Amino acid sequence: MSGNIHMNRKTIKRRILFTLLPGIIFLASCAQPLANFSETGPGGTPGTVTIRLSLGTGLARTAVPTITPGFYVVRITNTLDTVTYGSGSGTSGIVSVSFSAPLDATVSLVNIIAEAYDEEYGLLLAQGKEESFPSSNLGDSPITVTLNLVDPGPGTGDISLTFRFEEPIDPDDAVAAVEAHLYPSYDPDGTPFTDEWTPYSKRFTLGNGISDPPSDDGYRQITFEAADVPTGNAALSLWFYRKDGSLIKVFDDLGVLVYKNLTTNKWIVDDALVSSFDLTAENFLSSDATLLMPTGIIVGSAFGTLSPAFNSGTYHYGGLTGTGSLTLGFTLGKAGQTYALEVNGTVLASPSVTHTGDVYSASITGLTLQFNKVTIIVSAPDQLHSSRYTLDYTNGSSPTTVYYVSPGGTGNGLSLASPLGSVQAAVTAIRTAYADIGDPWPGKSTVSIEPAVIIVSGEVTGTASTNGLVDISDTGLYDTLPPIILQGNPDNPGTLDADELNRVLYIKNANVRLGDSLTLTGGRHPDDNDDGGGVKVVNGTFTMSGGTISGNIAYWGSGVSLDSGTFTMTGGSITGNGDSSFEDSDAGGVGVFVGGTFKMSGGTISNNIMGQGKGGGVLVPFGGTFTMTGGTISGNKFLSESPSQGGGVYVENDDDFTISGGSISGNIAYYGSGVYLNSGIFTMSGGSISGNGDISFGGWGSGGVGVYVGGTFNMSGGTISNNIIQEGWGGGVRVGRVLVDDEWVGGTFNMTGGTISGNKVLGVASGKGGGGLYIQGGAQFIMSGGSIIGNRADEHGGGMFIDDGSKFSMKGGSISGNTTNGLGGGVMLLGLGEYTMEGGIISGNTSASGGGVHLHGDLQFTMDGGTISGNTASNDGGGVNVASGNGKFTMNGGSISGNTAGSGGGVRVNGAIEMSGSAKIVNNPVYLTSGHFVTVTETMDTDGGAVLDSEDTGPGTVLIKGAASPPYTTAHILIQSDVDKFSHVDTSKTLIFDSGSEEGKIQ
């Protein structure tokens, strides 16, 4: 058997999931019994839920920091996460869950959601979910929920990782040196690792980093250390070398989590936490393969010759006309290796393979026209490392539908050996063949018309036409051209470079797809006040399944401009477009104009740069539609602060943006670093908006999402997390306003599900804050589900900051675990506005004053239902703080319990408080400052009432009154049963009903 060193090797990547350390247990005790609970459920008393954390890593080996959470939140919701039945939080392993009512008997399935936070910073560390859990089993114990560490957000951390390894079995493979290459920006689905050095790479030799001699158990040891590594998903690649410098083996599926201000120093290996990662001698057995010539292809045909030595990661070959099958021969490199066959993305369950000795022969059938990918996956004996060898097989028809282009080509384009010199020449040849009546184009005038394929090798330039370097125009769809696929040659990737003479590609009334191994670059329209530097689509269809669009410039849509057409992106990358010198230019990556439709399910739009303007990644300004179900929009940014808007996505003029999957992360703008919505509609049911914003951009707005000028943001799922802003408003979301015709026009945010977590507003500036959300005057926020958890504001409004003249309505969901150094740990209410709470839970929030809710100014907060519990204020008002003399808290229902504060654990009143009906403040004192009292506006229910404390303590001090008219439309006369629902925190003081004055007084 023969073996080969690694050459351009492709490696199987498995998505990395980081998890917390084992052994942490949550105990969630229910305040009220749930429906269907047994009298004595196994493992605990009725109403007790035990939640145990378990590991859930997606790799067999992952490095993590030693993290100990200091704060926990547990929620029980419906299966859509839109209704919260119970929620609780705590700083220990025991979490008390409060239920507003027992579960209805019709609720058969629930979701159990657990989250862990860092105690010092309030950062969301981990989250896990048990979906569709039978409610009848809530009394059982234990219930297992897996928590995975979340994206840590911007910052740096350190790495100190220990490796131990046995010498390989073959003495010729003795290890003389090891290189460690750390990739701090790692995409698990991206390109393979290379041996290129990074700023964090290190080399170890015997006696200089590699322990020599070995330890008693035969292992040598190295320790890889790196400081100030960017946070996030990183990966480590280890390269082992012989004495002669040749490569023995590469291990490049080592996941590493780097967390802010922490040291990554532990390994999760096979679901166990260990201090070192050990490699045995068997781990060094190679996964190389020797691939032989496909025996079913005629070598030397007009479509090119396949090299007899197929050892590289990918090889491109043009097949025979009409051939639907081939036979591929290969040998394995080492004993114990296994193989699998994959055809066009599907692994064959029962491949047709025979072998004679070491030579295997695979019969591949069912190949499609045009492009096929046939991949042999060879796995090492340890099954942890695999290599992929892919044959890109182009299968044409008659007449010829595949054309080849190379720089300086003078041939007919029908083979690699006889290429055309430009893509425009290939388009002309295709137009001629398509019009040939004598030899009809396959599928012409049918729904299954066969595309033409143009394969580009090397860098192709040329003289640009009026519209671009390549002009694919038709009078109508399929009038004179079939669908066209532009692709590069994997063995010699193609580039179309317009050299800034014009845009690269112009598409009108045509259907064009960009495939793999082709780059469009150097596009710039001669008129800088024009659109589409890389690609412009006019009433056509453009699909991007691969390739790269980079280094292009335009005033609008530097990468792609879409004008009344459709752009579908399933792969590839649009990156590095735009020019910081263009002032007020828009759409660094993609511009969707005039009725255009952009659908994104894969690929990346990243690192496009603008000076100032709108839409660093994507701009949807004039009647366009953008639907995102997958892919990534990341690292797009403006270099100038104001007036840059929408670092990732900008939507305006009643356009629609819908996201159900994918991620928008790491983008930067002055307003709306992730997404800016200006009078459009943004619907979010999934996906993530995370890690956007930059502390160098201060002052105004929104690390994650900004909603302005009548825009509507509907959130039913997904996450908005770990976004950041310095001295501004709205770390996660800002719902703002703009002056239009002398009137303030604000946006609307409807939240029925999803999570807003780990967002931050840093720094102290007058009146700023809103770690999770900021709602500006004239705007409105309506919440009936979802969660706002673990956000932070240095000044005010850890969870939310609701400003003067806005509307806040909470009907469900939870606001938990948020922190601020100032006012309003959960919610900060400021000035006049409509502020109501009908349901939901506000719990586990922390602040100086107003742990749950802080009322500041002449405003009224009305609570008709819901729960405010477990909040903490170091000064005033653990649950609710009524700070202003003209502020009023009206409580007609719901409950306040388990809150703590220096003064007024439940509620502190320096204004007015009204209670009626089922309003209940349980074992949580209401502190009344001098001259203030509780006004009972309707008869108190049996379960209603509160424990009162007061600054005035002398006999005869009035603490309870009935409602007088005005301002009440219907006066309520205080009665004895009302007073009976209240007591004084000092049990030596008795509250009596004075029938003469109809008041409740201290006796």
Say which CATH number the domain at 181 has: 2.60.40
Highest mean pLDDT among 359-373, 574-588, 784-798: 784-798
**Is the per-residue pLDDT at 791 higher than 80?**
yes
Higher pLDDT, 477 or 48: 477
Higher pLDDT, 797 or 173: 797
Higher pLDDT, 682 or 328: 682
Residue-wise pLDDT tens digits, 76-135? 888 777 677 777 666 655 666 666 566 777 788 888 887 776 655 555 667 778 888 888
Kindly give the residue spans of alpha helices, DSSP state H, lying in 216-368: none
**Is the per-residue pLDDT at 437 higher than 80?**
yes
**Is the per-residue pLDDT at 539 higher than 50?**
yes
Distances (CA, A) of 281 to 173, 284, 502: 10, 6, 58
pLDDT at 389: 73
Cα 116 to Cα 789: distance, rounded to the nearest angstrom: 10
Cα 859 to Cα 573: distance, rounded to the nearest angstrom: 50
Lowest-confidence pick of 182-186, 262-266, 413-417, 478-482: 182-186
Cis ω before 46 (30° cut-off from 0): no
In a domain, 815, yes or no: no
Handedness of CA 49, 53, 54, 56 (dihedral sign): positive
**What is the pairing mode between strands 505-508 and 535-538?**
parallel
Cis ω before 171 (30° cut-off from 0): no
Burial letters for 732-744: b for 16+ Cβ neighbours within 10 Å, e otherwise? bbbbbbbeeeeee
In a domain, 980, yes or no: yes
Beta bridge partners of 154: none
Highest mean pLDDT among 135-139, 371-375, 604-608: 604-608
Handedness of CA 972, 978, 984, 990 (dihedral sign): positive
Lowest-confidence pick of 556-560, 601-605, 620-624, 960-964: 620-624
Residue-wise pLDDT tens digits, 674-695? 999 888 889 999 999 998 987 6
Give the amino acid at 225.
Answer: E
- Token pair 């005010």 in the structure block, residue: 796
Q: Kindly indicate the confidence band of residue 15, based on its pLDDT and cuts at 50, 70 and 90.
A: very low
Q: Kindly indicate the confidence band of residue 396, based on its pLDDT and cuts at 50, 70 and 90.
A: low
Tokens describing residue 184: 């701090």
Cα 452 to Cα 402: distance, rounded to the nearest angstrom: 6
Beta bridge partners of 209: 205
Cis ω before 399 (30° cut-off from 0): yes
Return the beta strands (E) in 48-107 as ranges.
48-54, 61-65, 71-77, 84-90, 94-99
In a domain, 677, yes or no: no
Q: What percent of the chain has pLDDT over 70?
A: 79
How far does Cα 366 stand from its chain's mean position?
38
Residue-wise pLDDT tens digits, 485-517? 999 987 789 999 999 999 999 999 999 999 989
pLDDT at 535: 96
Cα 520 to Cα 499: distance, rounded to the nearest angstrom: 11
The end-to-end CA distance of the chain, in Å, is: 100
Q: Residue 199 region, left (φ>0) first, then alpha (ψ -120 to 50), else beta?
A: alpha
Cα 84 to Cα 114: distance, rounded to the nearest angstrom: 13
Does an H or E element contain 685, and which? Answer: strand 681-690
Higher pLDDT, 1001 or 642: 1001
**Is the per-residue pLDDT at 937 higher than 80?**
yes
Q: Which domain holds residue 250?
A: 140-208+216-270
Cα 539 to Cα 565: distance, rounded to the nearest angstrom: 4
Lowest-confidence pick of 578-587, 598-607, 797-806: 578-587
pLDDT at 385: 61
pLDDT at 189: 45
**Is the per-residue pLDDT at 949 higher than 80?**
yes
Residue-wise pLDDT tens digits, 282-302? 777 655 544 443 433 333 333
Tokens describing residue 728: 């501004």
Distances (CA, A) of 436 to 382, 429, 444, 480, 483: 57, 11, 11, 11, 16
Burial of 702 (0-12, 13-18, 19+ CB in 10 A): buried
pLDDT, average across residues 53-71: 59
Burial of 995 (0-12, 13-18, 19+ CB in 10 A): exposed
pLDDT at 98: 63
How many residues are present in the chain? 1003
Instruction: Write the DSSP assignment of 22-53 as a string of letters.
Output: TT-EEEEEESSPPTT--TT-TTSSTTEEEEEE
In a domain, 870, yes or no: yes
* 328 neighbors 293 (Cβ within 8 angstroms): no
Rg of the chain on CA atoms, in Å: 33
Lowest-confidence pick of 312-316, 571-575, 762-766: 312-316
**Is the per-residue pLDDT at 142 higher than 80?**
no
**Is the per-residue pLDDT at 262 higher than 60?**
yes
Domain boundary among 250, 270, 290: 270
Across all residues in the chain, what is the average pLDDT?
Answer: 81
Cα angle at 391 between 386 and 394, to 5 degrees? 155
Cα 681 to Cα 686: distance, rounded to the nearest angstrom: 16
Cα 483 to Cα 635: distance, rounded to the nearest angstrom: 33
Which residues fall within 8 angstroms of residue 802, CB to CB, at 6 or more apart? Answer: 775, 781, 808, 827, 828, 829, 830, 833, 835
Tokens describing residue 85: 């039945």
* 974 neighbors 938 (Cβ within 8 angstroms): no
Nearest to 724 by CA among 770, 678, 684, 683: 770
pLDDT, average across residues 345-351: 86
Lowest-confidence pick of 544-548, 608-612, 768-772: 608-612
Highest mean pLDDT among 170-179, 576-585, 806-815: 806-815
Does an H or E element contain 834, and which? Answer: strand 833-837
Nearest to 198 by CA among 189, 210, 185, 209: 185
pLDDT at 357: 72
Cα angle at 98 between 95 and 102, to 5 degrees? 130
- Tell me 451's DSSP state: P
* 730 neighbors 768 (Cβ within 8 angstroms): no
Backbone φ and ψ for 430, nearest 5 degrees, come out as -65, -40
Burial of 960 (0-12, 13-18, 19+ CB in 10 A): buried
**What is the pairing mode between strands 675-678 and 541-544?**
unpaired
Highest mean pLDDT among 575-584, 703-712, 877-886: 877-886
Cα 422 to Cα 439: distance, rounded to the nearest angstrom: 24
Cα 598 to Cα 592: distance, rounded to the nearest angstrom: 7
In a domain, 449, yes or no: no
pLDDT, average across residues 141-147: 66
* 33 neighbors 45 (Cβ within 8 angstroms): no
Tokens describing residue 649: 């996505």
Higher pLDDT, 220 or 156: 220
CA dihedral 966, 968, 971, 975 (to 10 degrees): -110
pLDDT, average across residues 985-1003: 92
Tokens describing residue 358: 């070491």
**Is the per-residue pLDDT at 49 higher than 60?**
no
Tokens describing residue 863: 């609570």
Cα 688 to Cα 628: distance, rounded to the nearest angstrom: 11
3-state DSSP helix/strand/coil % of the chain, to nearest 5: 5, 50, 50
Domains: count for the chain: 2
- Tell me 284's DSSP state: G
In a domain, 632, yes or no: no
pLDDT, average across residues 621-642: 86
Tokens describing residue 531: 């659109």
pLDDT at 843: 95
Cα 359 to Cα 506: distance, rounded to the nearest angstrom: 49
